[in-house]
Structure 1
């Protein structure tokens, strides 16, 4: 049974369309990967799935429930007015988080002047009233460094520690499906290995994952299916046994380098 079913989804930032006609299925318990160059729409697609921005057309069904309004986006008549203020949004991010679709976005989106303990205290609110509960100690078992830094402000954490804190917040929101958008961006090889181990542990706990990465080697051992995302659409789907190394995949996408 599919946990997430996306059909013919298109979207972007008014007036520019970023991705179009995306079909995606995430089965229960799966880890699905996305690979593609910068600027081709991967993060915009993830923001659309989690309701941060509204889709233009298509459908998003999560855990048997349609998340977006069935009507298509209406054309805006003026660039001088913010129609999002005047019209009802087609998706509700709070409702989506309550449903259990949790998005850990790209980059550092933490409150810089809050301590680690304060940031972690906010995360369970996403699941409040749903009956889903996560033991904080399980997060510290996964990220022991965070327990050592509970009184530190987020602005003073290293890049790897900030990413660990973001992922810990995602876990404390008790996801039915977690989107991890480039969790290793800008991190050292040593920290990347640590985070790879953490993603393996999250997957082993039974949480389904959509994992967006630009490093094929990071993805190969984690995902069951890899979606190659190119110019705003899924150009190829590869099963784990079919995923080539990074250099081969880049050559297939952009041609061999000339020296």
Structure 2
């Protein structure tokens, strides 16, 4: 690791007026893979959407490779519950700036283009790379990782299985040539066979030196993949664990939920 790539400092956010996460400090080094693990519904996805520029942060700082991505200061409160204040307020972070910097977020839920074919989606994906070099090499990696997509290249996205759509989602993220790839619940809702297949593909992405931030409910998968693991509970980071001291599944459950009575 040679310096920090992503740095979150005292980051807070949510959906006004509801606070979802508070005072999050998190770092990812260049060449590092980091995991985020915690109970469902405690703010992990909201945090990732904020880092990706889809939701405005309330306070704190997001820095990517030394450059601040969000505006300084505390977000002003809404002045009226009857007015869409966002129409008149300048965004505190722009998703296009995040993508241009090379921070690529693959969200959960396979939100793709249902009427486009696999080939069409993968053809337009490199346009998000903003001129970063290595498209042909990444295309080769994607073909190697997901041979099933070649078989389904003429199929519309809407006709793919959940696992196949997730493969397309990750392939799109890779073809944007990420300097950091964020994966939000990549194995969620998949059959055991497809979950294993996706987990092995993500491990190979890690081996290809793509920096990662991964959220997943499969803690064994996370601990085998990452250099460091953050535990996230009730909107806050409660622990940071490095690979040399990675606890077992049962120990992590105890750290989050306490001992069974």
Pair in the same fold by TM > 0.5: yes
Q: Distance in 1 between matches of 2:202 and 2:110?
A: 18
How far off its partner does 1:178 sit? 0.5
User: Which residue is 2:234 aligned to?
Assistant: 231
**Residues 215, 246 of structure 1: 8 Å contact kept:** no
Aligned residue pair count: 257
Moved over 4 A (4+): none
RMSD: 1.2
How far off its partner does 1:205 sit? 1.3
Aligned pairs for 1:56-205 within 5 A: 56-128=58-130, 130-135=131-136, 136-205=139-208
**Residues 118, 156 of structure 2: 8 Å contact kept:** yes
**Residues 79, 85 of structure 2: 8 Å contact kept:** no
How far off its partner does 1:244 sit? 2.5
Q: Describe the SS at the equivalent of 1:6.
A: strand
Q: Describe the SS at the equivalent of 2:225.
A: coil
Q: Describe the SS at the equivalent of 1:221.
A: helix
**Greater shift in the superposed pair: 249-258 or 20-29:** 249-258
User: Which residue is 1:210 aligned to?
Assistant: 213
Is 1:5 the counterpart of 2:7? The answer is yes
TM-score by length of 1: 0.96
Q: Runs of 5+ in structure 2 lacking a partner?
A: none
Note closer, same or farther for the CA distance 1:131–1:223 as it changes in structure 2 (3 Å cut).
Answer: closer
TM-score by length of 2: 0.95
Q: Distance in 2 between matches of 1:20 and 1:252?
A: 20
Q: Distance in 2 between matches of 1:41 and 1:219?
A: 18
Is 1:220 the counterpart of 2:223? The answer is yes
How far off its partner does 1:208 sit? 0.3
**Residues 132, 177 of structure 2: 8 Å contact kept:** no
**Residues 26, 32 of structure 1: 8 Å contact kept:** yes
